């Protein structure tokens, strides 16, 4: 075939639009390869937080929505989880839950994205008020799992003000399908190891983690620590303000405990008004500092309940995990030691903490009047 014939065929294909189709197919194939790679990386994350952070990082490579909201309904518990981003930066704003219930029902039979414009045409404009419209909704994605829709993703208009193109829509739709399956699997595992009221880890998972940390410390060191935290006069608080107020106090305290610790630490609800924390890679002085941070943060905490501003305090007992542990030491034994220190904190006036130490080690104590004092004593070990 001569160069002239080749050129003629090329011109004919160009006039027929075949080259445009070929170029479009190539772009779609490249995008599908990205989706496969990203989906493989996504399912490697085991937590909901890890998954959504990964999604944000990947979306950033494609476009920037003015708003993006993930609304997730856990398998147990009454509270929806909402994560909202403005220009892909997380913000502390949530949509009213009534809109989730409306959209969940409307999207029950939908498999892919639905434009907010189409939803308004079908349901009417009066349903969605400014408290929803301020998030600039453009596309709504249902999150399907076992049992139906358990969440939605609200994608706001693009930062550049133009419409989402075909490849961008394809990327989001495919990735949200993978995300939906991965998050539900994570939520079901999470529900088996967490307390339904507070969302913190439960007693059994905590005991398992501490036993693992004991084995790790014996092999490699260094120190770690455990704490037991008890709300002071909690029965009196419940009798005075009611159990609903008590639940609000426990929820508020749970969030404060998470703020005062690191991602690698383990915060658990031990039972009732008692909480426990494993602080990894922590020697005595930092353990004392964390306990004091928790105590002072709780003391400053305001619980807003029925136009009242309520307050609580906590007492803390702590115990170091180090390589000198007895061969038969277990998580239960260490928590018994921490509980002895907790008793000393309560016996000393409450709203303070005590660090258990055995043998001839010094015992560090601190209260709200003394940020840090060191006392030589063996009383707790006897």
Which of the 8 DSSP states describes residue 123?
A: H
Name the catalytic one among 190, 213, 273, 292.
273
Which of the 8 DSSP states describes residue 205?
A: H
User: Could you tell me if 65 and 154 are in contact, meaning their C-beta atoms sit under 8 angstroms apart?
Assistant: no
Residue-wise DSSP of 230-281: EETTHHHHHHHH-HHHHHHHHHHHHHHHHHTS-TTSEEEEEETTEEEEEESS
Check if 274 is active-site. Answer: no
Q: Which residues of 70-88 are buried (b: 16+ CB within 10 A; e: fewer)?
A: bbbbbeeeeeebbbbbbeb
C-alpha–C-alpha distance, residues 372 and 360, integer Å:
20
Question: Dihedral, CA atoms, 356, 362, 365, 370, nearest 10 degrees?
Answer: -170
User: Could you tell me if 365 and 328 are in contact, meaning their C-beta atoms sit under 8 angstroms apart?
Assistant: no
Q: How far is CA 134 from the centre of its chain?
A: 25
What distances in angstroms separate CA 144 from CA 179, 181, 189, 359, one per listed residue?
10, 7, 17, 57
Could you give the 3-state DSSP secondary structure of residue 68? strand
**CB-based burial label for 220 (10 Å; 0-12, 13-18, 19+):** exposed
| Residues identified as active-site | 273
């Amino acid at each position: 075939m001569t160069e002239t014939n080749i050129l003629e065929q090329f011109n004919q294909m160009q006039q027929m639009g075949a080259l445009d189709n070929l170029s479009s197919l190539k772009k779609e194939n490249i995008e599908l390869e990205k989706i496969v790679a990203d989906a493989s990386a996504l399912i490697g994350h085991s937590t909901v937080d890890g998954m959504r952070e990964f999604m944000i990082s990947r979306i950033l490579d494609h476009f920037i929505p003015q708003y993006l909201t993930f609304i997730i309904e856990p398998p147990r518990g009454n509270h929806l989880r909402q994560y909202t981003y403005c220009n892909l930066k997380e913000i502390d704003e949530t949509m009213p839950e009534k809109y989730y219930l409306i959209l969940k029902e409307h999207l029950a039979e939908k498999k892919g994205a639905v434009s907010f414009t189409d939803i308004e045409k079908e349901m009417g404009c009066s349903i969605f008020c400014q408290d929803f419209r301020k998030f600039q909704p453009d596309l709504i994605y249902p999150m399907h799992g076992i049992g139906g829709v358990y969440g939605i993703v609200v994608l706001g208009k693009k930062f550049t003000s133009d419409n989402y193109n075909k490849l961008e829509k394809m990327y989001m739709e495919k990735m949200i399908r993978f995300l939906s399956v991965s998050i539900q699997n994570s939520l079901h595992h999470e529900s088996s190891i967490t307390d339904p009221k507070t969302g913190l880890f439960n007693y059994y998972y905590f005991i398992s983690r501490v036993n693992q940390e004991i084995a790790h410390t014996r092999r490699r060191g260094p120190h770690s620590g455990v704490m037991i935290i008890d709300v002071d006069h909690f029965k009196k608080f419940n009798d005075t303000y009611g159990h609903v107020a008590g639940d609000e106090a426990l929820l508020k305290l749970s969030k404060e405990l998470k703020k005062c610790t690191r991602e690698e630490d383990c915060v658990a609800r031990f039972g009732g008004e008692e909480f426990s924390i494993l602080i990894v890679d922590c020697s005595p002085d930092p353990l004392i500092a964390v306990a004091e941070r928790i105590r002072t943060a709780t003391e400053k905490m305001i619980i807003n309940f029925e136009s009242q501003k309520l307050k609580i305090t906590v007492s803390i007992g702590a115990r170091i995990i180090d390589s000198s542990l007895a061969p038969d030491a277990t998580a239960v034994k260490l928590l018994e030691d921490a509980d002895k220190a907790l008793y000393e904190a309560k016996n000393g006036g409450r709203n303070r903490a005590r660090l258990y130490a055995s043998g001839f080690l010094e015992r560090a104590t601190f209260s709200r009047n003394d940020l840090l004092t060191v006392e030589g004593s063996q009383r707790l070990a006897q």
